[in-house]
Structure 1
């Protein structure tokens, strides 16, 4: 059973998510602030963290930075939970550190799907890395593969959220040129990352084939 830490400064919201997770077969643990989250992590590291953004005095982004700055907690996957629309700046700055961005309110199905996507991706990448190491693939290539595999998947998701968010706003008031440029720049960056990831996959496949021969 996977243990999931819910971090939100609203006890009511924490209770709602805890109930949803229990129904989904997960073991929820809770924290009502960023500070409490960091204390819980010292003694009970979970398999995944659901982290609200709009908290006081330490908000979710600051809490995320502290989690990722600590070698003992940096590898715990974090899903950001919020009713606040994602901005292109946040996507660029925090994208490398999160696994997904879930908009509240969310349904049981959406929550379970997001959690399942994160856990499945992590297991898949770990299995690929293990095979590559067994085949003697260079560690630097493996590290780049691990980083890009996660980054491309997450950035695709964040880009989709941004496009949906600002297309909705565009229908009412129009999207500013700065936001439009930022979204296009992100799309270009993802395309470059995907091309490099495909090159690495081909290299690893080639090296693995040579090892088998």
Structure 2
């Protein structure tokens, strides 16, 4: 049974997600603030953290940075589960730290699908890393494969959210120049990462 830490400063919202997770067969642990989350991580090692952004006094992004800069907790996957619209700046700054960004409210099925997708992606990447090590691939290349396999997938997910949020394909909606430039830059970055990942997959003898 996977343990999932739910972090939100609204007790009502925490209770809702705890109930949803219990119903889905997970083992939820409740936390009602960023500092409490960091304190709980001293005693537990969850399989996933569901983290809200709009909390006080420590918001979700600050909590995330604390998690990811701590060698003891940085490998724990974090999914942002929030009502706050994602901005291009946030996608670029925090995309390397998170596994997904899911908007509230969400259904049981959407939540379960997102969680299982993250857990299966990590399992798949871990299997690829294990096979590469057995094949004698250099550690530096393996580390790059592990990083790119996750970041490409997450970045594409964040890009879809941004494109939907800012309606780039809708001619009737005017998008700020800075936002459009940031999204185009993100598209180019993803393309370059995909090309490099494809090179590494060929080196591993794996078809994309």
**Smaller-chain TM-score range?**
over 0.9
Decide which structure has greater helix share. 1
In the alignment, which residue of structure 1 is the partner of 2:104?
Answer: 104
Unaligned runs of 5+ in 2: none
Q: For residue 171 of structure 1, report the CA deviation from its aligned partner.
A: 7.2
Q: For residue 205 of structure 1, report the CA deviation from its aligned partner.
A: 1.2
Q: Secondary structure at the match of 1:89?
A: helix
Aligned-CA RMSD value: 1.5
Counterparts of 1:1-213 in structure 2 under 5 Å? Answer: 1-167=1-167, 174-205=174-205
C-alpha separation in 2, matches of 1:26 and 1:162: 30
C-alpha separation in 1, matches of 2:33 and 2:40: 11
Cα deviation per residue 1:4-47 (whole Å; 9 max; x = unaligned)?
00000000000000011011110000100000000100001211
Q: For residue 168 of structure 1, report the CA deviation from its aligned partner.
A: 8.1
C-alpha separation in 1, matches of 2:28 and 2:149: 28
Unaligned runs of 5+ in 1: 207-213
Q: Secondary structure at the match of 2:79?
A: strand
CA contact (8 A) 1:169 1:175 kept: no
Alignment size in residue pairs: 206
In the alignment, which residue of structure 2 is the partner of 1:210?
Answer: none
Q: Secondary structure at the match of 1:42?
A: coil
Displaced runs of 4+ in structure 1, greater than 4 A?
A: 168-173
